[in-house]
Copies of this chain bind each other. A is one copy, B any other.
Amino acid sequence: MNAPRRANVVGLGLIGCSLAMALRERGWHVTGSETDPDRLAQAQGRGAVDAIGLDPEAEITWVAVPASATVPAVKEVLASTAGLVTDVASVKGPIVDQIDDPRYLGGHPMAGSDLDGPAGADPDMFVGAVWVLTPTSDTSDEVFAGVAGAIRSLDAEVVAVPAARHDAMVAVVSHVPHLTAATLMTIASARATDHAALLRLAAGGFRDMTRIAAGPPAIWPDICVENREAIVDVLDLLMADLATVRDLVSAEDRGGLLDLLSRARSSRRSLPAGAAHPSQLSEARIPIPDRPGAAAEVFTLAAELGVNVSDFEVYHSAEGDRGVMIAVIESASADLFRGGLIARGFKPGIRSLD
């Protein structure tokens, strides 16, 4: 019987505890730490960890502390362990910029809950979720493949994008929507003090739209401060676009309103599903030079092109001078991916798996 793979989880809140439980379910030996004694007891009560502390022999350490505490926590782990280190903070640029170590690779699982702490933890939280990795040009194939492989083992989907681009994206799809939902909720609540029936009129659409405002508020001040510039940009854009909508309503411009709502509907309906279940798969074999960043570059290109990599492996030759990356993609994306790879100087071979 093989010895189990070993992992640390630093911080056992909602995400850390879910992660620890997911790893244990998949046979990992998980060592966990948490500065808050109540949370630690709750996490132990949920059977999230095998041991308390920091395992110096762990293959990978997941740092799942608040965004503002992430940099010192990652540095401490790098000094105390020999394995890979990643984190789960919602803002990546300010963190990645401050950690200059080849064993660290930033990450952000696009998953969560409106519950708090270990009590809300769910070992299935990451199944089918997108998990962003933010490699730099120094990220080695080994580190990228190690972290990405551990995430794949949780049944999440890896998407690689540069840290600054991640931050601009989450301002659009997460941070500003959250702030907007909170704002709409406070407006409705203030109006409801005049007439209690108002909130009874809130049907499914309003409930859906404000659901994220039910989430734990404590993580948000950090996120807003860390991603300040991108959030302010998108809020400015939203206010400008809402002013345009206001003018369309005020001018009774039915055509303009129909156009806006038709475009929005069409975009919403083409939103990709959380987990891809492609029916036809192809395998891309991509020889990669033995230099930092090649595997990450292939993954980042896939994200840029909207190509979903549903599985992958990196093989290095015995001589160590070059390797091959095998990526499984949807057959419908094969030509797009091939074109992008060739344009970046790779020489891919792609074959159907059907």
Contact = CB atoms under 8 A, between A and B. Distances in A.
Contacts of A205: 112, 174, 177-178, 181, 211-212, 215
A208 B211 contact: yes
Contacts of A174: 201, 203, 205-206
Given A187-B237, A196-B303, A239-B239, 12 more contacts: A111-B204, A129-B203, A130-B200, A174-B205, A179-B249, A181-B209, A183-B242, A186-B241, A199-B272, A209-B211, A217-B261, A220-B258
Nearest to A223: B257
A27 interface: no
Contacts of A209: 177, 180-181, 208-209, 211-212
A95 interface: no
Interface in A227-242: 228, 231-232, 234-239, 241-242
Given A180-B242, A208-B209, A246-B232, A267 B203 contact: no
Given A208-B212, A261-B217, A267 B200 contact: no
A41 interface: no
A252 B227 CA distance: 10
A228 to B, nearest CB: 6
Interface of A is mostly: helix
Contact of A208 (B208, B217, B255): B208
Interface stretch (A46-54, A72-80, A165-173): A165-173
Given A200-B159, A206-B174, A217-B262, A249 B235 contact: yes
Contact of A261 (B220, B237, B272, B306): B220
Contacts of A308: 200
Nearest to A178: B205
A318 interface: no
15 contacts: A159-B201, A165-B195, A172-B187, A172-B188, A180-B180, A183-B238, A183-B245, A185-B264, A205-B211, A217-B261, A221-B255, A224-B252, A224-B257, A232-B249, A235-B246
Contacts of A111: 203-204
A98 B187 CA distance: 31
A275 B199 CA distance: 12
A207 to B, nearest CB: 7
A173 B201 contact: yes
A210 interface: yes
A197 B159 contact: yes
Contacts of A262: 217
A317 B255 CA distance: 55
Given A196-B304, A217-B258, A202 B234 contact: no
A277 interface: no
Nearest to A217: B261
A249 to B, nearest CB: 5
A39 to B, nearest CB: 19
A319 to B, nearest CB: 34
Contacts of A189: 263-264, 267
